[in-house]
Amino acid sequence: MALGMMSYGDPAQVPWFLPEDKAEPIVRRAAEGGVTVFDTADMYSGGVSEEITGRLLRRLFTRRDDYVLAAVELTLTPEETARLEAPYRPRRPFGYGL
């Protein structure tokens, strides 16, 4: 099973983003339930999701070999970033650029 990490970030940026302290119980429960694959991308909350994911996984797993981190790079151009509106809606279909 995998857990997508796109909902985590700064709620001041997008109201439905969850900060790290609110994300931890969700990710902890997933890890305790056997989830070992975590999917994130730099486009989720401007990379804050990746930072939160990294800190949480370091706390929740003893060894780096115990989980898989799928981090897709999908850096937006400045023009694309300027067009983003809250609530965040991806402009490209999932898997673009893979």
CB atoms within 10 A of CB 83: 10
**Active site residues per annotation:** 44
DSSP 29: H
Collect all residues with Cβ–Cβ distance below 8 Å to 96 and sequence separation of at least 6. Answer: 74
